[in-house]
């Protein structure tokens, strides 16, 4: 199938190209950027090497819908809400890596993103691409809202607890830590090396736009869930997210019971790996891969459950999950083009 990538000059876009380059069934037909028409991508990213196919084109919707089967959007918030309706009307399938189609209620989107929401009838067609839990809908989708990096780590970590009604509904606290690549390639003081190295910063306290995305999915699973606390920290590393998730158990449990539950919940999931009791994942052990590794502990002293969930924010948290969604939507093996070990060390 023929693929177009819009927003190919960002970190998400270039990571998509890394995976698509050797995908057996997908061919990158064109790459697009709003501002760099005619430039070879290798001028911007020398690591991809000279490659004649990698010339950036402007975003001409008609031309794209005439030639592509599937379009990936790796654009900043506020762009996809305008482009996607045109692409959908043109008959191509869309996988959007931005947040524009993740939240069903446009007013909530607008409150957290401070941007105009996408038109409602397109919004309602979007399927939330949390591949491990929405597979059925993804198979039938024409438009996929690829989940955010933090929500992916968080939701995969919480799903077994929330779906099985094991935790108090008002007790969820997520303390998330992210590498700096999550902030993208746009330069700013907050991602300037000398300000970021040897430093941990907390940001968007109680205001992160991923909060409503996480809550929406939790409510889908269990409508008793109350608002969550979700904090994000910038860590002096490039890739990786760890979500440390706290909640209060409704009844006495044990770490072993929880590990069993998680193993069962994810037994058919190729990309979720559960740690043995007493073991917890570190971000580096999923570096460059599409895995989500999860460890879980029950504390008898407090009756609290701690879940530790790690992903590579640019892979399972963005481009990798997008390819996984492509595979599911196209009816091919879910891990096609994604079967490789993390890079370690």
User: Catalytic residue positions?
Assistant: 149
- Which residues 220-239 are close enough to bind a copy of itself by CB under 8 A? 226-229, 231, 233, 235-239
CA dihedral 210, 215, 217, 220 (to 10 degrees): -160
Residue in 52, 62, 140, 198 binding a copy of itself, rule: CB under 8 A: 198
Q: Which CB, 137 or 175, lies closer to a copy of itself? A: 175
Residue given tokens 């190729």 in the structure block:
270
Sequence-ordered list of residues with C-beta below 8 angstroms from that of 332, at least 6 positions apart, any chain: 25
Binding status of residue 136 toward a copy of itself by CB under 8 A:
no
Binding-site size, a copy of itself (CB under 8 A): 85
**Window 172 to 191, contacts with a copy of itself (CB under 8 A):** 173, 175, 177, 179-181, 183, 185, 187-189, 191
**Positions 203 through 222 that interact with a copy of itself (CB under 8 A):** 203, 205-206
Q: Which residue, 85 or 288, is less far from a copy of itself as judged by CB?
A: 288
Candidates 64-72, 149-157, 216-224, 277-285; binding stretch for a copy of itself (CB under 8 A) = 277-285
Bridge partners of 5, per DSSP, are 31, 72
Name residues contacting a copy of itself, limited to 106-135 (CB under 8 A).
none
**Helix 255-265 to helix 149-163 angle, to the nearest 10 degrees?**
110
Q: Please answer whether residues 122 and 170 qualify as being in contact, where contact means their C-beta atoms are separated by less than 8 angstroms.
A: no
Q: Which is nearer to a copy of itself, 286 or 329 (CB)?
A: 286
Nearest approach, Cβ of 1 to a copy of itself (angstroms)? 20
Q: With contacts defined by CB under 8 A, name the span among 66-74, 80-88, 120-128, 242-250 that binds a copy of itself.
A: 242-250
Member of 66, 200, 224, 256 binding a copy of itself (CB under 8 A): 200
**Binding flags for a copy of itself, 44-63, as an x/- string (CB under 8 A):** -xxxxxx-------------
Secondary structure (3-state) at 285: helix
Which member of 29, 86, 135, 246 binds a copy of itself (CB under 8 A)?
Answer: 246
**Cα atoms in the Cβ-side hemisphere of radius 13 Å centred on 204:** 19
Residue closest to 321 by CA, chosen among 73, 147, 176, 69: 147
Distance, CA of 77 to CA of 255 (rounded, Å): 40
What is the spatial distance between Cα 43 and Cα 272, in angstroms, rounded to a whole number? 36
Please list every residue from 310 through 329 that binds a copy of itself, using CB under 8 A.
Answer: 310
122: nearest Cα among 97, 102, 107:
102
Residue 280 interacts with a copy of itself (CB under 8 A)? yes
Partner residues linked to 274 by β-bridges: 294
Q: Kindly state the smallest distance separating residue 338's Cβ from a copy of itself, in Å.
A: 11
Torsions phi, psi for 261 (to 5 deg): -55, -45
d(CA 226, CA 215): 8
Would you say 104 or 284 has its CB closer to a copy of itself? 284
Nearer to a copy of itself, 91 or 236 (CB): 236
List the one residue from 89, 110, 139, 170 that touches a copy of itself (CB under 8 A). 170
- For β-strands 27-32 and 70-73, DSSP reports them as unpaired
């Amino acid at each position: 199938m023929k693929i177009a990538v819009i927003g190919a000059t960002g970190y998400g876009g270039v990571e998509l190209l890394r995976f698509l380059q050797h995908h057996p069934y997908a061919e990158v037909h064109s790459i697009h950027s709003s501002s760099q028409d005619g430039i070879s991508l290798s001028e911007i990213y020398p690591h991809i090497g000279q490659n004649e196919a990698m010339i950036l084109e402007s975003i001409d919707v008609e031309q794209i819908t005439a030639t592509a089967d599937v379009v990936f959007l790796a654009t900043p918030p506020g762009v996809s809400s305008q482009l996607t309706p045109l692409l959908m009307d043109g008959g191509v399938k869309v996988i959007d890596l931005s947040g524009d189609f993740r939240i069903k209620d446009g007013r909530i989107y607008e409150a957290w993103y401070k941007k105009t929401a996408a038109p409602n009838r397109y919004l309602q067609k979007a399927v939330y691409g949390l591949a491990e839990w929405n597979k059925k809908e993804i198979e039938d989708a024409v438009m996929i809202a690829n989940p955010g990096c933090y929500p992916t780590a968080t939701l995969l970590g919480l799903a077994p607890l929330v779906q099985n009604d094991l935790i108090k509904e008002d007790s969820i606290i997520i303390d998330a830590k992210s590498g700096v690549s999550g902030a993208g390639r746009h330069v700013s003081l907050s991602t300037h090396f000398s300000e970021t190295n040897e430093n941990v910063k907390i940001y968007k306290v109680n205001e992160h736009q991923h909060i409503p995305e996480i809550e929406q999915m939790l409510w889908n699973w269990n409508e008793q869930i109350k608002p969550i606390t979700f904090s994000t920290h910038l860590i002096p590393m490039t890739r990786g997210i760890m979500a440390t998730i706290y909640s209060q158990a409704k009844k006495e449990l044990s770490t072993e019971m929880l590990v069993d539950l998680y193993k069962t919940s994810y037994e058919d999931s190729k990309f979720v790996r559960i740690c043995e009791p007493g073991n917890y994942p570190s971000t580096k052990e999923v570096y460059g891969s599409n895995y989500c590794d999860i460890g879980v502990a029950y504390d008898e002293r407090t009756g609290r459950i701690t879940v530790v969930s790690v992903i590579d924010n640019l892979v399972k948290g963005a481009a990798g999950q997008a390819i996984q969604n492509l595979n599911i939507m196209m009816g091919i093996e879910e891990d096609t083009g994604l079967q490789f070990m993390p890079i370690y060390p």
